[in-house]
Structure formats: C-alpha cells, structure tokens
Amino acid sequence: MVIDLDRVAPAHAPGRRGHRSPHARAYLVAAVLLAMAVLGGSASPARPLRVAFTDTGATAAFALTSTALFTADTQIGVDARVALRAYTLGTGAQRWESRLPDMVWGIDPVAGTGVLMVTATGATRAAFLDADTGRLLWRLDLSRAAVLRATAAGVLVSSGDHAATTLRLADLRSGATRWSRSLAADSWVDAGDAELPAPDRVIAVAPDGHATVLRLADGADLSSAELPGAARLTRLGDRLYAVESRLDGKTLTAYRLSDLRRLWTTSAVPLGRLSWCGPYVCDTTDAGMTILDGNDGAVRWSVRRWQLGYGSTATALPGPLRLIAIDYQDSPARALLDPGSGAVVADLGHTTVVGRVLLRTDTGQPARTWIQRMDAWGGTHAIAAVTVAAPHHCAAAGDYVACPNPAGQVVVWRLPP
C-alpha cells in the first residue's frame, strides 16, 4: 500500500506495538570468533548462507529489526517525494510504502515502541511514523533544535540559542509536550544511554557549574550540586566525570549520578577521551590507553599500543569481562583484552563488529567479506563469505544481517542457528 505523507494523520489510532532487537554493545558478543577463524586460514562455511531478502533499488538509508527491513530510496520521485518502504523479513513481502518530502539521512526504530524516527538529509527535520502501517504520526522541525534521545518515554528535544536553552519531552506518537524545562544558556546536557546504567536520568550542567539531575519520564528534579564551571564533562552510565585544567596539570574527578556525590579525584595519568569499560574507565590519548578502577581511580595498567584507540569499550562476551580496543593505524585493528592486566586475549584484526557477528575483509580477495560468530564457550567459526560494499554500513538484529552490496542494494541474510 502507498501512503502520502503530505498530511499528519490523527494521533488517536496508535496501531500495534512492535519491537526491535537491541543493538550497540550486544554486538560485541561475537568479538573473538572472527579473528581466529580468518587468521587460521581460508575456512569454508559449513553451509551456504540463505539470502532472506534483496532490495531491488539503490538505498539511501536503511534500518533492520528482528522482524522487518526499512529502506529509503536514493532519488526523489516524479511526485517530488522519496519512497520509504517496509518489508517483512520472514516472507520478504512489502508491508507498506510511504512517501516523504525530504531526502532521508537516517531511519531509527525506537526500541519497543513500533515507531520509526526518520531524519532528513542535513538534519533539518524529523518525521515519526508508525512502523506497522507507515502512517505519519508527527513532524519535528530541527532547524533550531536537536533530538537528544528517543525512547518509549518520549522524544527529548533541546532547543534555544545563546540567550536560553529549553528541554522538552515530546510524546512519541503525537508530539505533544509531556514536560519542558528552561535551562541556562549553553548548558551541557546528557540524556543517557539505553544500554548503560541509569538510562532514565538526564543531567544538565550550566556554564557556571550548577548541575541538576532530572528524571526522564517527568522532568522531576532528583539532585543538584555545584561542579567546577570550566570542567570538560563526560557521562558514562551512572557516573559523571569532570576534567579540570589547573596550573599544575589536569585532574579527573568522578561523581555518582544519583546524588552528584564526589567519589574520587586523580591527577596521576594523562587525560584524553574517556569511554565506558564496565567497572573500569578507559582513558585514551596519543600516549596510549590507561585503565582506571572505577571505584577509586587507581591505575590498573597502561599500554602505548592502543594510542588513539577511541573505540575502546567493554564487551558482553560470555564469561569474565573483556574489552575491545582499537589501535591507531592507517586501517585500525581491533583486539580483545583482559581488563585486569591489559593482556591481548585475541587479535581481531581489521574487522567491523555488527550485532552478534564480526565482518572481516578477506585479505586475499578484498571483494569478499567473512561473517563469523563466537559460541558460548569461546569457540569461533566462519559462517559464510558474502559480497558487501562497506562492512561498516552493515546492521544486525535477531537472526539477520543486512549490508549494502556494490550496486547499492540492501541484501539481508539469515544466520543459521
């Protein structure tokens, strides 16, 4: 069916709720498998990988869930609109086709809601659609605003200028304001991450250092404190980190997000980019990577090899906590590390981690990419070799992997059990 999205349909018919498979750090579960299988030789997959679906046209953007594929065309049609389509993965049948007045830059299914957020090229506006029917729910002008986060609780939007900043939570299906909050101009705001601790907390810090923690669902004040005004701030889950520059060097201070209580301060390490590494803090600079104990800030280890390893993060591998680090080369390589010692558990090479699998370009045949998996016991094996245009543009959800092929078409494969 074809739906013209020139008008916003009434918001009183919410439709069935869908879901999408969680992505992001769950993708790291497959981290070990790829390297060992490819490094060990040109292994052949046990059986051909089944193609579940191939889009017939070139695709500007796509999104994958455990049950559906959503695609947007690369060109505007004769009606001056862009086609957005949904396909059921089990059958390949087209669910619906909708038409938008803007070129599409991104398609984001909002987890567990049955709603799609579709962002126009240039991030000038966003459209929210019912994922089951393609019906337009509402539009959001982004010319002077930004979406900080879209969740089942609503869409958190920041807007304003140098005179004032406003936070607003809009209803996901109607766009109606659930709550709004005026903040000091140029306030620093972090809306959290669904896959890290304290995803239901928002923190806002004014330029003078006044910090307030809000509840995402209703905007209620939960705690406040005075922080250093000129600090560089990073939020990692339920911790807030502040880097201060002083005459005698830089200091790093950790605060507990629940009450903004100071936990520890250290000046013992060079300070660069901080990333979430479970109970540890990964601190990466051009001098290498240092791991700090999240409880007291003590240095656990420091290795120069992982200089500029800004993608370093904790994994969700079976067994003990592991880290994935990226070293700085012309073509960055990944490795699996023991967080306690920094020892390399496995060299993952020049890979892309997607969902529960790893994608690695065959060194002998650059047009071929290996899909590999790790089992619950740490064993690794190749699933199949496929032809993709760019592994870093692939997506994974549930039992499926989707990638653009060299012709610009999206191909979806179903992974074996």
Q: What pTM did the predictor assign?
A: 0.83
| In the chain, domain spans | 2-11+19-414
pLDDT at residue 334 is higher than 90: no
pLDDT at residue 56 is higher than 90: no
**Range scoring the smallest mean pLDDT among 101-110, 264-273, 306-315, 355-364:** 306-315
Query: 381 — alpha (psi -120 to 50), left (phi > 0) or beta?
Result: beta
Strands (E), 42-176: 50-54, 59-64, 68-73, 82-88, 94-100, 104-110, 115-120, 125-130, 136-141, 145-151, 154-160, 165-170
Q: Determine the pLDDT at residue 11.
A: 39
* Residue 365: closest CA among 387, 382, 349: 387
Q: Which fold has domain 2-11+19-414?
A: Methylamine Dehydrogenase; Chain H (2.130.10)
- Burial degree of 284 (CB within 10 A; 0-12, 13-18, 19+): buried
- CB of 403 within 8 A of CB of 393? yes
DSSP letter at 11 equals T
Query: What pLDDT, in 10s, does the model give residues 207-235?
Result: 999 999 999 999 999 999 999 888 899 99
**Pairwise CA distance, residues 370 & 330, whole Å:** 21
For 134, the 3-state DSSP assignment is coil
Strands (E), 172-248: 177-183, 188-190, 201-205, 210-215, 221-226, 232-236, 239-246
Q: Alpha carbon of 48 to those of 250, 398, 404: distances in Å?
A: 55, 19, 19
**Pairwise CA distance, residues 59 & 65, whole Å:** 17
pLDDT at residue 5 is higher than 60: no
Write out the two tokens for 357: 């699998």
Query: What pLDDT, in 10s, does the model give residues 173-191?
Result: 999 999 999 999 999 999 9
